[in-house]
Amino acid sequence: MDLITPGIGLVFWTTLSFLIVLFILSKAAWKPMLKALKEREENIDGALAEAEKARQEMASLQSDNEKLLKEAREERDRMLTEARDTHGTIVGKAKGDAKAEADRLIAGAREEIRSEKRAAQTEIKNMVAQLSIEIAEKVIKERLSNDEKQKALVNSLIEDLNLN
């Protein structure tokens, strides 16, 4: 049983050695270890604070990016609307101009047709008159080709004058 229960001297010297080692470690080793642990804790806290700050900045940047993206989309939509309106205006104006030009050309063509028609009618009248004169001239020459026919014509004209 002596092996199981230690003696008083052994307990005293073990306790004394433990306290001396504890004192030496507290003066020489624990202060630097605690200081290193404290610095590491401060570094970790600083890194966590930096990470939180970076996360907040990222959230802010993301919200700014979303706002800019929304503004860009609105600007794009506005520009597309303006382009459509401008396209409609230009097409409408071009259609109006084309219709006005077509109407003007049609009116000019109708007036030219009327003018050509009048000219053709006048020319036909002149040709009919010319042909009538030529026919009358030929008929008169035929009828008045001998003396007897001339005398008979003169006598019939005189009778017509006397009757009127």
Segment 93-151, tens digit of pLDDT: 999 999 999 999 999 999 999 999 999 999 999 888 888 888 888 777 776 677 777 77
Task: Note the pLDDT of residue 163.
Answer: 66
When pLDDT is cut at 50, 70 and 90, the band that residue 3 belongs to is low
Contact 135, 141 (CB under 8 A): no
Question: For residue 131, what are its two tokens?
Answer: 């042909």
Q: Which residue, among 147, 123, 145, 127, has the nearest Cα to 135 in the 3D structure?
A: 127
Segment 41-50, tens digit of pLDDT: 999 999 999 9
Average pLDDT for 61-79: 94
Residue 162 has pLDDT above 80, yes or no: no
Contact 35, 42 (CB under 8 A): no
Whole-prediction pTM value? 0.39
- Cβ-proximal residues to 144 (8 Å cutoff; 6+ apart), any chain: 150, 153
Residue 18 has pLDDT above 90, yes or no: yes
- How far is it, in rounded angstroms, from Cα 57 to Cα 63? 10
CA angle, 152 as apex, 146 and 158 as ends, to 5°? 135
Average pLDDT for 69-87: 94
Task: Note the pLDDT of residue 49.
Answer: 94
The Cα-based distances of 37 to 25, 41, 51 in angstroms read: 16, 6, 21
Task: Note the pLDDT of residue 2.
Answer: 61
% of the chain exceeding 90 in pLDDT? 59
Q: Which residue, among 62, 42, 35, has the nearest Cα to 50 in the 3D structure?
A: 42
